[in-house]
């Protein structure tokens, strides 16, 4: 493990980048793989949270991501010798975090606004929650960003209606440490590990919610071919996650033939969302509909594969 940054007057490392006593007991954990283009931006936003964070840990599965993380003062880098899933990386980060009251999991391509950690912690406490996730907004309006947000994050926009309130994304997710430990952490899975984890907590009586006050900015640094491959992966682990934890739609995950119907249903939901939430983007949606349909076909193929996949290594 490589470490950098200043230490406070109590001998602990200050995430604020300047001397001073660490007053909060919250550790930020950022899993990273092939994230060298975005992780520095994510970590800088965490350093900017000041004393709200007692530690910032970047758990990196590759050298370029680790090198980029080391360039940010106040960050502790855990460089792994092999690639691991985001779920496993988060669990390693929790082990390294030690005795803290709160855990903040942030994706390496997400940025939090100033004061976000304090706002999230206050909302978590006032609402009596076990888990609170930030809402998600895209960083720009490029076609690839708009389409990916439409497919993956439209239900988690600020002020958006939640189809399943206890299923929230891990773009920026604040969790009480005791609930993390009680639930056994994340499954060894990616993507989809966040939904399984949230369901585990909810099944044990913990309350889960998406913030009405704080939104993370998601940077979509991917090409169309990468997005196509990611949709297959997302569909596969979506089916696996449902089979593992009884998520909504788990019965369909046991029937791979249903994947085509689910893909068509998702296309219809996208069209309704654009009509209701972004009517000015209707023409854009029509123009990009063949691409969206192809991406959803990839997702459906992945969902069918996930319905047949073994679950042993992911638990």
pLDDT band of residue 192 (cuts 50, 70, 90) is confident
Per-residue pLDDT at 171: 94
Per-residue pLDDT at 6: 32
Q: Which residue has the higher pLDDT, 257 or 304?
A: 304
Question: Is the per-residue pLDDT at 7 higher than 80?
Answer: no
Question: Is the per-residue pLDDT at 8 higher than 70?
Answer: no
Question: Is the per-residue pLDDT at 201 higher than 90?
Answer: yes
Q: Which of 60-69, 133-142, 252-261, 283-292 has the lowest mean pLDDT?
A: 252-261
Q: Which residue has the higher pLDDT, 21 or 309?
A: 309
Question: Is the per-residue pLDDT at 241 higher than 90?
Answer: no
Rounded CA separation 229/222 (Å): 11
Per-residue pLDDT at 130: 98
Per-residue pLDDT at 253: 72
pLDDT digits (tens, 9 = 90+) for 101-115: 999 999 999 999 999
Q: Which of 46-60, 155-169, 294-308 has the lowest mean pLDDT?
A: 155-169
Per-residue pLDDT at 2: 40
pLDDT band of residue 5 (cuts 50, 70, 90) is very low
Percent of the chain with pLDDT over 70: 88
pTM as predicted:
0.86
pLDDT digits (tens, 9 = 90+) for 295-308: 999 999 999 998 88
Report all structural domains of the chain as residue ranges with CATH numbers, in order of start.
2-221 (3.90.550.10), 223-309 (no CATH)
Rounded CA separation 159/198 (Å): 20
Query: For the chain, what is the mean pLDDT?
Result: 88
Rounded CA separation 238/215 (Å): 24
Per-residue pLDDT at 81: 82
Question: Is the per-residue pLDDT at 213 higher than 50?
Answer: yes
Rounded CA separation 42/130 (Å): 24
The closest alpha carbon to 44, from 98, 105, 114, belongs to 114
Residue owning tokens 């230490």: 7
C-alpha distances in Å from residue 271, one per residue of 140, 153, 235, 274, 285: 20, 14, 19, 5, 8
Per-residue pLDDT at 307: 84
Question: Is the per-residue pLDDT at 222 higher than 90?
Answer: no
Question: Is the per-residue pLDDT at 293 higher than 50?
Answer: yes
Structural contact between residues 94 and 163, judged by C-beta atoms closer than 8 angstroms: no
Per-residue pLDDT at 249: 67
Per-residue pLDDT at 110: 97
Structural contact between residues 129 and 209, judged by C-beta atoms closer than 8 angstroms: yes
Per-residue pLDDT at 312: 53
């Amino acid at each position: 493990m490589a470490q950098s940054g200043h230490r406070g007057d109590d001998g602990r490392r200050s995430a604020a980048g300047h001397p001073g006593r660490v007053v909060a007991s919250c550790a930020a954990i950022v899993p990273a793989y092939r994230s060298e283009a975005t992780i520095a931006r994510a970590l800088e936003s965490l350093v900017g949270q000041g004393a709200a964070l007692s530690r910032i840990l970047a758990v990196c599965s590759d050298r370029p991501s680790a090198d980029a993380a080391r360039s940010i003062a106040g960050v502790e880098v855990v460089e792994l010798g092999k690639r691991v899933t985001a779920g496993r990386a988060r669990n390693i980060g929790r082990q390294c975090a030690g005795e803290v009251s709160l855990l903040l999991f942030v994706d390496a391509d997400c940025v939090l606004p100033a004061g976000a950690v304090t706002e999230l912690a206050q909302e978590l406490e006032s609402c009596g929650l076990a888990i609170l996730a930030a809402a998600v907004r895209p960083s720009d309006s490029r076609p690839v960003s708009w389409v990916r947000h439409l497919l993956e994050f439209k239900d988690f926009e600020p002020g958006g209606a939640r189809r399943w309130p206890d299923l929230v994304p891990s773009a920026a997710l604040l969790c009480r440490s005791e609930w993390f430990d009680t639930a056994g952490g994340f499954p060894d899975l990616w993507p989809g590990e966040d939904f399984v984890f949230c369901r585990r907590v909810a099944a044990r009586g913990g309350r889960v919610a998406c913030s009405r006050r704080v939104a993370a900015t998601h940077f979509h640094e991917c090409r169309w071919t990468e997005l196509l491959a990611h949709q297959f992966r997302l569909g596969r682990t979506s089916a696996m996650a449902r089979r593992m934890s009884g998520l909504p739609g788990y019965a369909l995950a046991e029937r791979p033939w249903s994947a085509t119907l689910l893909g068509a249903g998702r296309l219809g939901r996208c069209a309704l969302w654009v009509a209701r939430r972004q009517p000015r983007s209707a023409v854009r949606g029509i123009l990009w509909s063949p691409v969206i349909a192809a991406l959803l076909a990839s997702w459906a193929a992945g969902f069918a594969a996930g319905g047949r996949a073994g679950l042993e290594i992911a638990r």
